[in-house]
Amino acid sequence: MGRSALLFFSVGSIIGSGIFVILGVAIPKAGPAVLLSFLLAAIAALFSALSYAELASTIPASGSSYTYTYVTLGELTAWVVGWMLMLEYGVSVAAVAVGWSEYLNTFLGSFGVMIPEEFTNPPAEGGIINAPSLIVVFACAALLIRGASESARLNTIMVLLKIGILIFFSVVAFTAYDGNNLSPFLPLGLLGVTAAAGQVFFSYIGFDAASTAGEEAKNPKRDLPFAIIGSLVVVTVLYLLVTLAALGAQDWKLDANASSEAILATIANNAVGGIWAGDLIALGAIISIFSVVLVTLYGQTRILFAMGRDGLLPKVFTRVSARSQTPVANTMIVAVLIAIPASLVSLGQLAEATSIGTLGAFFVVNIGVIVLRRRRPDLPRGFKTPLFPLMPILGIIFIIIIMSSLDVVTWLVFIAWMLVGLVVYFGYSRKHSVLNKKKES
């Protein structure tokens, strides 16, 4: 993949994983000040993105932050990061699949076709199973099995489409813009801003997606930093534009009472006094969110591939098809495991679980870039984090601020997940690791 394909790869992973589905969850926490929440999350992401860009240009291998940590901080810490990445990528695919299901139902509903609620809602919301979420996960898995280059070309087309849809929404929403809807700007205080930032951080997850393709990039030292930082800049501008348009078009209290995750379609319909705008946005969301599932699923399989190559996971995760050169068994295992929460858990719970796994990985990456600078200042780097070590230190501080605002239940799930990971490491991974076998020999 070249520079533009990698840029679209990261942009494709970010857009849709948040703005199409999480805005309606975040607005009740902060009101109009959710704009500040998006900005705070973007700044926190930028500090970490700079660290990712430096490490990606120095260690251009599959596995993203897992691989960087393996090189800089050792096997055990790398395993912890890899385990957090499983939570990040796996749960974020499930969350996006839930959002895809909401937009599919919104679009079909305009034609008088409704999927029964028991097959679109998880058990906690009165349903049996979220069937559309299952369909989108397995459809993306089938496409990835065909090959990475085909997936990248399709992703580029879908990214251009989703950018167009977000611009279209902004234009429509600004026709109904009323500045009074932004007053009072801070109805729920600064605590509301940080609480919402913890959830909307979910919408920036994915800028590191290009780093998972380190071994499939044409010029990783030059192109990976460009894709990582460039995607974050593009997405932040779009997010702020869309959020401002949404807040101006409708009283935030109405947004707060909206039950559907398909909030952009709802606001667009209210702005034009009909359903055609919402239908168009829903159709665009159906197609574009598909690309998020595709790219994030790809990233998950490549991280597991790297962990399997190091002996920390069974070799089944490293077997590659002779025809397509893709890890078929790996992809199918991941698809099955992701399909379970996608079909049984609600969006809000999934979004926070994704955020905490991501923030944990970013925390370690910021430490890793400091450690590698100290230990190996001689290594050739295609990109260097500016104002070092201030930027990674600020990244760590912002991550701590956002993590402290997450729900207690989210922390309990995270701690339980990490304890399970340590049991797996000491019970299996440590004994089978390539590093441990080298020490024994």
Residue 110, pLDDT above cutoff 50:
yes
pLDDT class of 392 with cuts at 50, 70, 90: very high
Residue 127, pLDDT above cutoff 80:
no
The CB density around residue 422, as the number of other CB atoms within 10 Å, is 14
Question: For residues 370 and 60, which has the higher predicted lDDT (pLDDT)?
Answer: 370
The answer to whether 425 and 312 have CB atoms below 8 angstroms apart is yes
pLDDT at 399: 87
* Average pLDDT, integer, range 23-48: 87
pLDDT class of 259 with cuts at 50, 70, 90: very low
Burial of 168 (0-12, 13-18, 19+ CB in 10 A): middle
Residue 436, pLDDT above cutoff 90:
no
The DSSP line for 245-262 is HHHHHS-HHHHHH---S-
Least confident of 74-78, 396-400, 404-408: 404-408
pLDDT at 268: 87
Residue 255, pLDDT above cutoff 60:
no
pLDDT at 21: 66
Distance CA 280, CA 267 (A): 12
pLDDT at 348: 60
Question: For residues 406 and 193, which has the higher predicted lDDT (pLDDT)?
Answer: 193
Residue 108, pLDDT above cutoff 50:
yes
Mean pLDDT of the chain: 83
Residue 68, pLDDT above cutoff 90:
no
Cis? peptide before 116, omega within 30° of 0: no
Distance CA 123, CA 140 (A): 24
The DSSP line for 308-374 is HHTTSS-GGGG---TTT-S-HHHHHHHHHHHHHHHHHS-HHHHHHHHHHHHHHHHHHHHHHHHHHHH
Residue 152, pLDDT above cutoff 80:
no
pLDDT class of 391 with cuts at 50, 70, 90: very high
pTM of this prediction? Answer: 0.78
Question: For residues 355 and 395, which has the higher predicted lDDT (pLDDT)?
Answer: 395
pLDDT class of 79 with cuts at 50, 70, 90: very high
Residue 242, pLDDT above cutoff 80:
yes
* CATH 1.20.1740.10 is held by the domain 3-440: yes
* Average pLDDT, integer, range 108-115: 82
What percentage of the chain has pLDDT greater than the value 70?
91
Residue 355, pLDDT above cutoff 90:
no
* Average pLDDT, integer, range 52-60: 85
The CB density around residue 190, as the number of other CB atoms within 10 Å, is 11
Distance CA 82, CA 174 (A): 43
Question: For residues 350 and 334, which has the higher predicted lDDT (pLDDT)?
Answer: 334
Least confident of 11-15, 25-29, 198-202: 198-202
Distance CA 371, CA 149 (A): 35
